[in-house]
Structure 1
Amino acid sequence: MTSPRIVIIGGGPTGLGAAHRLSELKNENWILLEKSAKFGGLASTAIDDQGFLWDLGGHVLFSHYEYFDALLDDLVGDDWFHHIREAWIWTHNRWIPYPFQNNLWRLPNEDRKKCIDGLTELQQNPPEIAINTFDDWITCSLGEGIADVFMRPYNFKVWAFPPDELSAEWVGDRVATSNLEKLIQNTKTQTDDVGWGPNSTFRFPASGGTGRIWSTLASKLPQDNLKPSTTVRSINPRHKTVSCENGAKYSYDALISTIPMNELITLLTDSHIFEGKSEAFRWSSTHVIGIGMKGAPPEDLMQKCWMYYPEPDVPFYRVTIFSNYAPANVPSPGEQWSLLCEISESEKKPVNHENVLEETIQGLQQVGLIDNSDQIISRWKTYLPYGYPTPFLGRDELIESIEPILRSMEIYSRGRFGGWKYEVSNQDHSLMQGVEAINHILFKEDEITYFSPKTVNGR
């Protein structure tokens, strides 16, 4: 029996995962199209003119899959740094360990009382409302105090949408809840509680940044099957062909697309069947700012991994001490260090593109991460039109009105934005969406990651 011809669109973790699985199966009847000249997508690493490395966001590697772990070991060998997460929140002019809701004792008295009173009210009078929005989940799980002091302002900064415009289905293991009795005890003893979460430990390549993983994976694939610098112009689901801007046309029996779902449906020659649906999607863009510094980081930053900034007077929602992940992230280890900053943008949260770099530097000085701008030896920035696949209200219903129809056409829309499910959009999830799509196409196996996020995240 002849193996079906498979076309993969996109050379990020999902597309490369699909290609790797095919190569693993000794299947050569496929082609991968990538619009960029290099592979890795949003998991790429850039090198600036001064030689500083910059990931496209504060990526950390942790996994829900033995398959993913084994692949990373094969690609990078033993060349890793292993980290215990040290994440902090800068608010009220002080450091509070992550997660905020487990370390309320560090707050000023008035706000600490407000947060604990909100939790006490929850325990004594549990709300009897349906949880439809993320804001509902916050108030029903953490109380009005924590909602007002931290959760609402921070989540607006990271999502660029207010929590009452987000659904609650995605939360899962992404947000910590609080135990009132333990909180009160920690407050009395002034004890930090920092071990929560799936990323409490993580690893990072000793050189080459996160992008090293994906460029190495691409280099191990059959090079004749990879088509970089190839942009898709249209997809004809009736004739099962993909037409590209360079004039090339590729036939397929099954198509795996990692193009954002809202854009994919506009590329179809039968796009009229999805009329009005592309405009219904919501997402945030991301500005990534890299600041390379001379010298060494201040003592209180030596062990920190990343920090959250919920307050509106600085533009970034997160800053990563990127040089702490691996010394080779700077050109002269021991003599330089680096800060990676992320700023979200949407129609609800506009950003001035011309001023974002200077405003970021001013913000870093304001919160004490930089003493003097004379220390700066590298300024780097990039803009990611697609940063976070927003779990907007009505997302699941919208996807359900599109994805089954695409699948009936043998088009599998998968990946961070191809699948549009934030809860399974980390690098491990994304790669496995590609692997599982191939296993479904060839062997009719279930796609657990895409269709059962709670199952994989509960591992």
Structure 2
Amino acid sequence: NIFMRPYNYKVWAVPTTKMQCAWLGERVAAPNLKLVTKNVVLNKIAGNWGPNATFRFPARDGTGGIWIAVSDTLPEDKKRYGKKGEVEKVDAEGKVVTLSDGTTIKYNKLISTMAVDSLVEKMGNQELISLSKGLYYSSTHVIGVGLRGARPERIGDKCWLYFPEDNCPFYRATIFSNYSPYNQPQASEKLATLYLANGTKAASTEPKEGPYWSIMLEVSESSMKPVDQENLLKDCIQGLINTEMITAEDEIVSTYHRRFDHGYPTPS
């Protein structure tokens, strides 16, 4: 009740009592009890622990750079992006996919990254559609905040932080400026201050130099965990102040908010 239940509710937007537990083995790294006890006694922090203690990340273009690089390895005539590439129908028995522009593609094996409920709708299989109604999913709000100033030493070189508390809407904060120096404007670039973190106007709206740093926040939403979308950006910035990630006087130079209806499938 201190961490696992409140945190997982914030992540999945579904009470843990409505979730099954088979997913735990992949999502939760199993601790070494002997090592944990030793570290507590010695007041030592465990380093390089967990499945993603180290990872590779593009120097430029953010997470999207990974998928752009993958796309670049494929022949142009094998790629269909945008509205013309939307799947309208999947004939599972005939092994044919129909796209929105009428193009049909035959296949031997279909690898789908569509949400399961969307896929079975395209298949038109009423039995599977009925079964899919029992599945949960959460919507995801991605909030970006760009700030003027040096990254606070209290945050250090951390990649992400988790928040089970109820004094902020977000469950995770990612310090994208720690991933690469190209994930924020260079210090010499001049940007205007939109407003201070506490919502008040800046003393000047004239563009001025940095340095800059950036935060990405994630907020889950479902019918069991509604979100005030209109005020979510403001609430997240207040949450950053509440959790001492930023101060009330910090200068905000850019913001971003995007909602993904199908964010994460929920183990249900």
Normalised by the length of structure 2, the TM-score is 0.83
Amino acid at match of 2:241: Q
In the alignment, does 2:165 pair up with 1:289?
no
Equivalent-residue separation in structure 2 for 1:384 and 1:262 (angstroms): 15
Equivalent-residue separation in structure 2 for 1:179 and 1:225 (angstroms): 47
Measured against aligned partners, the alpha-carbon deviations of 1:371-428 in whole angstroms (never above 9, x if no partner) come to 1355100010111112222111xxxxxxxxxxxxxxxxxxxxxxxxxxxxxxxxxxxx
Counterpart mapping for 1:102-117 below 5 A: none
User: Is this contact kept in 2: 1:294–1:336, CA < 8 A?
Assistant: yes
Describe the shift of the 1:221–1:152 C-alpha distance in structure 2 as closer, same or farther (beyond 3 A): same
Mark the runs of 5 or more structure 1 residues left unpaired by the alignment: 1-147, 393-459
What is the Cα deviation at residue 190 of structure 1?
A: 2.4
Describe the shift of the 1:237–1:179 C-alpha distance in structure 2 as closer, same or farther (beyond 3 A): closer
Equivalent-residue separation in structure 1 for 2:255 and 2:62 (angstroms): 18
- Name 1:348's counterpart in structure 2: 224
Equivalent-residue separation in structure 2 for 1:337 and 1:355 (angstroms): 23
Amino acid at match of 1:370: I
- Name 1:305's counterpart in structure 2: 159
- Return the match for 1:248 from 65, 79, 103: 103
What is the Cα deviation at residue 178 of structure 1?
A: 5.0
User: Is this contact kept in 1: 2:10–2:171, CA < 8 A?
Assistant: yes
In the alignment, does 2:220 pair up with 1:367?
no
Deviates more, 1:211-220 or 1:174-183: 174-183
Describe the shift of the 1:178–1:215 C-alpha distance in structure 2 as closer, same or farther (beyond 3 A): closer
Describe the shift of the 1:277–1:292 C-alpha distance in structure 2 as closer, same or farther (beyond 3 A): same
Normalised by the length of structure 1, the TM-score is 0.50
Tell me the C-alpha RMSD between the 2 structures: 2.0
- Name 2:87's counterpart in structure 1: 232
User: Is this contact kept in 2: 1:206–1:328, CA < 8 A?
Assistant: yes
- Name 1:337's counterpart in structure 2: 213
Equivalent-residue separation in structure 2 for 1:254 and 1:184 (angstroms): 49
Equivalent-residue separation in structure 1 for 2:231 and 2:29 (angstroms): 35
Describe the shift of the 1:309–1:227 C-alpha distance in structure 2 as closer, same or farther (beyond 3 A): same
User: Is this contact kept in 1: 2:148–2:250, CA < 8 A?
Assistant: no
What is the Cα deviation at residue 291 of structure 1?
A: 0.1
User: Is this contact kept in 1: 2:29–2:51, CA < 8 A?
Assistant: no
What is the Cα deviation at residue 174 of structure 1?
A: 2.8
Equivalent-residue separation in structure 2 for 1:216 and 1:181 (angstroms): 42
Describe the shift of the 1:182–1:197 C-alpha distance in structure 2 as closer, same or farther (beyond 3 A): closer
User: Is this contact kept in 2: 1:266–1:278, CA < 8 A?
Assistant: no
- Name 1:193's counterpart in structure 2: 46
User: Across the two proteins, how many residue pairs are aligned to each other?
Assistant: 244
- Name 1:48's counterpart in structure 2: none
Counterpart mapping for 1:20-419 below 5 A: 148-177=1-30, 182-229=35-82, 230-269=85-124, 271-333=125-187, 335-372=211-248, 375-392=251-268
Equivalent-residue separation in structure 2 for 1:216 and 1:178 (angstroms): 35
- Name 1:54's counterpart in structure 2: none
Equivalent-residue separation in structure 1 for 2:249 and 2:231 (angstroms): 16
Equivalent-residue separation in structure 2 for 1:307 and 1:185 (angstroms): 24
Equivalent-residue separation in structure 2 for 1:195 and 1:276 (angstroms): 44
Describe the shift of the 1:268–1:301 C-alpha distance in structure 2 as closer, same or farther (beyond 3 A): same
User: Is this contact kept in 2: 1:321–1:340, CA < 8 A?
Assistant: yes
What is the Cα deviation at residue 248 of structure 1?
A: 2.3
User: Is this contact kept in 2: 1:291–1:339, CA < 8 A?
Assistant: yes
Equivalent-residue separation in structure 2 for 1:368 and 1:153 (angstroms): 20
- SS of the aligned residue for 1:161 comes to coil
What is the Cα deviation at residue 252 of structure 1?
A: 3.0
- SS of the aligned residue for 1:257 comes to coil
Equivalent-residue separation in structure 2 for 1:343 and 1:180 (angstroms): 32
Percent identity between matched residues is: 43
What is the Cα deviation at residue 187 of structure 1?
A: 3.6
Amino acid at match of 2:231: N
What is the Cα deviation at residue 166 of structure 1?
A: 1.7
User: Is this contact kept in 2: 1:173–1:198, CA < 8 A?
Assistant: no
Mark the runs of 5 or more structure 2 residues left unpaired by the alignment: 188-209
- SS of the aligned residue for 2:133 comes to helix
Amino acid at match of 1:305: C
Equivalent-residue separation in structure 2 for 1:241 and 1:385 (angstroms): 27
Whichever structure has more helix as a proportion of its residues is 1
What is the Cα deviation at residue 194 of structure 1?
A: 3.9
Equivalent-residue separation in structure 2 for 1:160 and 1:288 (angstroms): 15
Equivalent-residue separation in structure 2 for 1:310 and 1:156 (angstroms): 9
Describe the shift of the 1:168–1:378 C-alpha distance in structure 2 as closer, same or farther (beyond 3 A): same
- SS of the aligned residue for 2:111 comes to strand
What is the Cα deviation at residue 214 of structure 1?
A: 1.4
